[in-house]
């Protein structure tokens, strides 16, 4: 399992304010999560991705397979890097999958950042080959590791290519995410394996999250719009970052779409 946090706002914020400084920040969730369905800590790596549109449309990514609380370099960098779009995560590696940098979210390709909180049961033994066999050559050749998360991202990239999606097109991003969840869950159902598929993706201008599992309630996912700590912004997180009464839980099997127009949610 992992813990994820995303920010999409009108103002640039330091990475540290989102990842390190709140009462129940991603840093705290790395060693003291409250709502994880499996695992105890998130010590198998962390990553943060952000956008600098004044440079280009592709995100910068900092990833490490070390625990967040041990990385002094990130602690020095984070207060000095500002962005209006951020996606970050801490990782608890699924049993059977290696704890290496190739498996640490967020994953990046072109203008997209992606993270997955969940697991496909017995992925390498049962589901990896059937899922990867259906990928395009472009997505397959881009795989670096053996995780379920990277495979789901590859599915999503294929659907975004098919749709000829462009940055800021929240509708295409939402539809591609929906199709990805349905396709991956259909394959897992045929194989008889459980899949927990909380995912988040952003292109720097729009952000989409899904809360979904094939059986029972999915992993927790919350959002707050124009909150006390982050005004004029949408923040999405696996666990609430602070005591703001504005936090809402995204219902199970629902999609969240955020862009400059605000937030909408709908059933998957």
Whether the per-residue pLDDT at 19 is higher than 80: the answer is: yes
Query: CA-to-CA distance for 146 and 131, rounded, in angstroms?
Result: 12
Q: Predicted confidence band at 242 (pLDDT cuts at 50, 70, 90)?
A: very high
Provide the number of structural domains found in the chain.
Answer: 1
Is residue 223 within 8 A of residue 13, CB to CB? The reply is no
Query: CA-to-CA distance for 225 and 233, rounded, in angstroms?
Result: 6
Average pLDDT over the chain reads 94
Least confident of 37-41, 143-147, 237-241: 37-41
- Residue of 1, 2, 28, 224 with catalytic role: 2
Query: CA-to-CA distance for 176 and 188, rounded, in angstroms?
Result: 18
Active site residue 2: yes
Q: Predicted confidence band at 36 (pLDDT cuts at 50, 70, 90)?
A: confident
Q: Which residue has the tokens 């869950």?
A: 185
Write the pLDDT tens digit of every residue in 129-187. 999 999 999 999 999 988 999 999 999 999 999 999 998 899 999 999 999 999 999 99
Query: CA-to-CA distance for 68 and 26, rounded, in angstroms?
Result: 9
Query: CA-to-CA distance for 19 and 7, rounded, in angstroms?
Result: 10
Say what the pLDDT of residue 73 is: 96
Q: Indicate the Cα dihedral angle 132, 135, 140, 146, nearest 10°.
A: -20
DSSP-derived pairing of the beta strands 195-202 and 112-120: antiparallel
Q: What does pTM read for this prediction?
A: 0.96
Instruction: State both tokens at 58.
Output: 């592709």
| Cβ neighbours of 197 (radius 10 Å) | 27
Could you list the residue range(s) of the whole structural domain that residue 219 is in? 2-267
Residue 3, strand partner residues: 90
| Cβ neighbours of 187 (radius 10 Å) | 18
Report the share of the chain in percent with pLDDT over 70. 98
Query: CA-to-CA distance for 192 and 125, rounded, in angstroms?
Result: 13
Higher pLDDT, 185 or 99: 185
Whether the per-residue pLDDT at 98 is higher than 90: the answer is: no
Q: What is the CATH number of the domain that holds 243?
A: 3.60.20.10
DSSP notation for the chain = -EEEEEEEEEEEEEHHHHHTSSTT-HHHHHHS-SS-SS-S---S-EEEEE--TTT-SSPEEEEESS-GGG-HHHHHHGGG-EEEEEEEEEE-PPTTS--SGGGPSPEEETTEEEEEEEEETTIIIIIHHHHHHTS-HHHHHT--S--HHHHHHHHHHHHHHHTT--TT-HHHHHHHHHHHHHHHHHHHHHHT--EEEEEEEE-SS-EEEEE-BSSS-----EEEES-SSSTTEEEEESS-SS--TT-EEPPTTEEEEEETTEEEEEE-
Half-sphere exposure of 49 (CA within 13 A, CB side): 25
């Amino acid at each position: 399992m992992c813990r994820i946090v995303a920010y999409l706002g009108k103002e640039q914020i330091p990475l540290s304010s989102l990842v390190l400084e709140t009462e129940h920040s991603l840093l705290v969730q790395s060693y003291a999560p409250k709502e994880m369905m499996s695992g105890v800590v998130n010590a198998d790596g962390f990553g943060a991705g952000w956008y600098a549109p004044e440079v280009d449309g592709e995100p910068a990514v900092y990833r490490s397979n070390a625990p967040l609380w041990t990385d002094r370099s990130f602690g020095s960098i984070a207060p000095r890097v500002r962005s209006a779009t951020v996606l970050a995560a801490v990782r608890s590696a699924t049993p059977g999958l290696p704890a290496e940098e190739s498996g640490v979210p967020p994953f990046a390709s072109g203008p997209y950042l992606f993270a997955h909180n969940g697991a496909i049961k017995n992925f390498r033994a049962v589901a990896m080959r059937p899922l990867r066999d259906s990928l395009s050559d472009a997505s397959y050749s881009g795989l670096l590791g053996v995780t379920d998360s990277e495979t789901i991202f590859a599915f999503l990239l294929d659907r975004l290519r098919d749709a000829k999606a462009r940055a800021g097109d929240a509708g295409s991003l939402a539809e591609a995410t929906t199709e990805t969840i349905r396709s991956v869950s259909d394959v897992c159902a045929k194989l008889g394996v459980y899949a927990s598929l909380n995912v988040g993706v952003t292109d720097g201008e729009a952000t989409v999250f899904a809360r979904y599992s094939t059986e029972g309630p999915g992993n927790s996912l919350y959002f707050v719009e124009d909150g006390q700590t982050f005004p004029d912004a949408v923040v999405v997180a696996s666990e609430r970052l602070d005591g703001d009464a504005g936090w809402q839980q995204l219902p199970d099997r629902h999609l969240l779409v955020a862009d400059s127009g605000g937030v909408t949610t709908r059933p998957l």
